[in-house]
Each structure stands twice: as C-alpha cells, then as structure tokens.
Amino acid sequence: MIRLAKPYISDEAIEKVAEVLRSGNLVQGEYVRKFESELEQYLDVKHAVVVSSGTAALHLSLLALNIGLDDEVIVPAFSYPATANVVEIVGAKPILVDITLDDYCIDISKIEEAITEKTKAIIPVHEFGQAADMDPILAIAKQHDLKIVEDAACALGTEYKGIKAGAFGNMGCFSFHPRKAITTGEGGVIVTNDKELSDKVRSLRNHGISIIDDKINFEYAGLNYRMTDFQAVLGIAQLNEIDTLIN
C-alpha cells in the first residue's frame, strides 16, 4: 500500500514535546498561546484560537455565528465530508454547489442560484491548497448579507492576491492532521479579525467558560475542544519550518 502522506517531524520537535510531557503542564499552557501568537503573525490576522481538530474549528465557527435550525449554508459539492457534516450537526441544511475542474473549488457562477431567504453563510473550501476565487465570493456574501467561513484545512500557506487563505472571511479554519502541511497529530485553528467572535470561540472550546473579574462564568453551553500544550509545542516547531515543508 502506498501512503498518501507521511508527516515530517524533526528530532528537535520530538524533544520539545518530551520536555512538555516531563513538565506535567499538559493542557492549554504557555505553548498554546505562543502557537496562537505565531499563527497570527504568519497569517496576518488579529486572532487565532487553536482547537482539537479542523472539524472542531468548523463546528465552533458555525456556533459562534449563531447558525442553526432551519438555516441553510452553501458548501462545495466536492470536499471532505466534515465541511457539510458540521452544518448538519448545528441543525442547519448544507446546500451543495458544484465545483470547477480548473481548481476543484466552488463554481462561482452557481452560487447565487443556490441562495434562498434561509441562506446564512457560505463555506468556500480551498481544495488541495488551491485558493478559491475569494473576490466574487466576498461580493456575493456582501450583496446577500451572508457570513463566510473559509475551510482552509489543506491551505496553510496558500495565498490569494498576496493575502493568506483563511484571512478573508468572518472566520477561517485550518487542520493540523498528519496529512496537512504542518501537524500536531490532531488539531486545528480558527482565525478571525473580529474580537467578539474570537472571545466567543475561546469560551466555546472550553466548556463555555469566560473569566470576568477573575471569576469563572459558564456563559455558553460549550464543548471540550481544547488543544494540549504538547500538541502546541509540536505545532510551533513545525510552523518554524513551514516554508521548507511546503517546498
């Protein structure tokens, strides 16, 4: 059997993971925030929130945007099932739109005919690291008052007109699965330039907890989608070599 992909993990990265494991500080510590900060710089976004998977990132994004029962979300008809699954999970309906064979991304010419009064968002997928044509997607979303959640699971480092994929929509989602450009084993990140959305997904990933005046408040019905510190330190080591890995 020929493997689809094999992750590159340096000896230095393995030693960093071992150091965190030996420390006993395993969950959401200093390296989680450091990883988020480095992702913010790399992607040129204001906020990055690392989570347990790319699917978790998509799920939390829809929850943060209040997409739910009876809403419709436009997704490409060709993508990994997670893209449509998260729409189903929040109680909304995925509306499948065909792709083009030029880049395997959503066919821009077919989006508007799929929009109804129930449509709340578009999830363009940057398939196989190919950037979706974001300018017309942004124009359509603005015209119809729709949210955009970019599924950039396979596109860390992809650029569209000089801007990194994931930085165009209301929220962008990446995966750090072993088949991706960098890996934390399992893992993902949500990026956004909206502080309110950032604060909400930070809370939702950690049981709905918000810290107000040094007191814990359970503000939402949240989930446990946290990333561990040893995953984060592996991600930092991988991100430092991303240009080499992509090449």
Please report the DSSP string for 75-134 in residue order: EESSS-THHHHHHHHTT-EEEEE-B-TTTSSB-GGGTGGG--TTEEEE--B-GGGPPP-H
Residue 231 and residue 12: Cα distance in Å, rounded?
14
Q: Which amino acid is at 105?
A: C
**In the block, residue with structure tokens 């801007």:** 163
Q: How many whole angstroms separate alpha carbon 227 and alpha carbon 187?
A: 7
SS3 for 93? strand
The answer to whether the CB of 16 falls within 8 A of the CB of 115 is no
Cβ 159 vs Cβ 168: under 8 Å: no
Task: Enter the tokens of residue 245.
Answer: 């890995």
> Can you tell me whether residue 191 is helix, strand or coil?
strand
Length of the chain, please? Answer: 247
Which residues are catalytic, by number?
180
